[in-house]
Structure 1
Amino acid sequence: MSNPLLRVDNLTMMYGDRVGCKDVSFELRPGEVLGIVGESGSGKSTLLRSISAQQEPTKGTVQYNTRIDGVCDVYQMSEAQRRLLMRTDWAFVHQNPRDGLRMNVSAGANIGERLMAIGDRHYGNIRSNADAWLGKVEIASERIDDLPSTFSGGMQQRLQIARNLVTSPRLVFMDEPTGGLDVSVQARLLDLLRGLVHDLNLAVIIVTHDLAVARLLSHRLMVMQQGKVIEHGLTDQVLDDPQHPYTQLLVSSILQN
């Protein structure tokens, strides 16, 4: 078994007396997809932000096995080191693609910017890479100079994915990546994501309220309630034989709809 790419220990985020997330621990290995599910307000998005260095937790550690320096505590890194990590080896896919794209520059420039952020200055290489990644996310090459505002919501989401993955990150955070999309568009996007995760051997943490999305994409599942992980196991095992009453309620509510 490979060494963990990410190790989270006793992660806690408090907002005064209110619990964002509390005492969360897990490991994630290369190629593994961890789903985090729960109702709105359960703490799943707070946990994702705390792991992905967007807000420093109240206590606990986030350790990442970097390419160069080995295992490092993310919150002991300098701000510059964290920013470099987030531009290169990590990626974050937002629910609203407009939060992850620059809407006033072309599709190709959106992808190229991330390459320029890691030092690529060869225009031909950048444009060629952008064109290749448009193809990988099923966007026609002739749209490379079009603004994202001219794209549909599903295309914007695929463009955001291309922008994120062009630097070959090993860890991808996804916050409700199919939220707000029509069912048919969701299905196409999920097929694309599943293929990319497999082909690129990505480690992924995906937050979703949709158990069908969790089942399709994730290998393991964590169920959160009131900031705490109340059930954790293989996805099919958790969804087919839920042990905690809250998980049973989540699953049964889906079956009834």
Structure 2
Amino acid sequence: MSVTVSSPADDTPLLRVSSVSKSYGARTGCEDVSFELWPGEVLAVVGESGSGKTTLLNCISSRLMPTSGTVSYRMRDHTWRELYRMSEAERRFLMRTDWGFVHQNPADGLRMTVSAGANVGERLMAVGDRHYGNIRSTAIDWLGRVEIGADRIDDEPRAFSGGMRQRLQIARNLVTSPRLVFMDEPTGGLDVSVQARLLDLLRGLVADLGLAAIVVTHDLAVARLLSHRMMVMKDGRVIETGLTDRVLDDPREAYTQLLVSSILQV
């Protein structure tokens, strides 16, 4: 059921997550997670491996149905839709147009056997663009924005380095001007120098486009650079939340203090 919200403003949430839990038999993936996300806000979800952060991301991005709880999204027509009351076709369309998902392994988010230009162009076709010239020129423009030369437009992603593949995946996701992007360890597996360049690129694009984003990472440096707000997870539950600088500079929970101190000692 849709609920109309009158005169939405920038301070109206874009996403509402309420009491989301996911269990796998006796094992808990995530438990009783609630938060709101505003337009243009970047939220980092941090925690060690097994903390439940990826399970949570999958539940709120329609990739995994939660055991209980609700995820509601404010559509472009200003109506609220509950994600798991939408049809599967509606959710797929949302993921191809209004949302983006950047995988840790770019091969999971790209078609490796078609050209870089085709990877970007597919998203444009999903929103109704059928003009070949427009699609190709837009693809060239976006490749440039993610620092991939126009001369690589006809190359397949399998000919690219890991960092270039990740930048191509970002272009593929952002070309349709989504309002919300999910990122699962977007710099994981990359060399430190490549990570730094990619983070600078991401930070610039998110700010320029006014994107809302949810970033799952175990790297607190990534969280500090990209996010406005942070949630810390442990054993499937959110144990601390707040502005990123506050959480990292003045952690209140013992577990968060341990996470922060372990980074500082490296």
Matching residue within 84, 104, 115 for 1:106: 115
Does 2:236 correspond to 1:236? Answer: no
Give matches, 1:207-246, under 5 Å. 207-246=216-255
Structure 2 residue identity aligned to 1:117: A
Q: Which amino acid in the other structure matches residue 244 of structure 1?
A: E
Number of residue pairs the alignment of both structures matches:
257
Residue 177 of structure 1, aligned match among 186, 193, 213:
186
Report the 3-state secondary structure (helix = DSSP H, G, I; strand = E; otherwise coil) of the residue aligned with 1:160: helix
1:15 to 18, 21, 24: 24
Other-structure match for 1:205: 214
Q: Which SS does the other structure have where 1:149 is aligned?
A: helix
Cα deviation digits, residues 214-257 of structure 1 (max 9, x gap): 00000000000000000000000000011101001000100111
Give the gaps of 5 or more residues in structure 2. Answer: 1-9
**1:80 corresponds to which of 85, 89, 108:** 89
Q: CA deviation at 1:69?
A: 5.6
Matches within 5 A, 1:180-191: 180-191=189-200
1:39 to 29, 42, 48: 48
Distance 2:174 2:50 in 1: 29
In structure 1, list runs of 5 or more residues that go unmatched.
none
Partner of 1:53: 62
Which consecutive aligned stretches of 4+ in structure 1 deviate over 4 angstroms post-superposition?
none
- Alignment partner of 2:37 out of 28, 44, 48: 28
Q: Alignment partner of 1:3: what SS?
A: coil
Q: CA RMSD in A?
A: 0.7
Q: Given residue 158 of structure 1, which amino acid in structure 2 is its aligned partner?
A: R
Mapped to 1, the partners of 2:257 and 2:237 lie a distance apart of 16
1:150 aligned residue: 159
Matched, 1:166 2:163: no
Question: TM-score scaled to structure 2, two decimals?
Answer: 0.96
Measure the CA separation in 1 of the matches of 2:160 and 2:25.
42
AA aligned to 1:145 is D
Give the Cα separation in 2 of the matches to 1:150 and 1:83. 29
TM-score between the two structures when normalised by the length of structure 1: 0.99
Aligned mates of 1:69, 1:80 — CA distance in 2: 20
Find out whether 1:251 has 2:246 as its counterpart: no
Find the aligned partners of 1:40 and 1:19 in 2 and give their Cα distance: 14
Q: Deviations over 1:165-197 (max 9, x none)?
A: 011000000000000000110000000000000
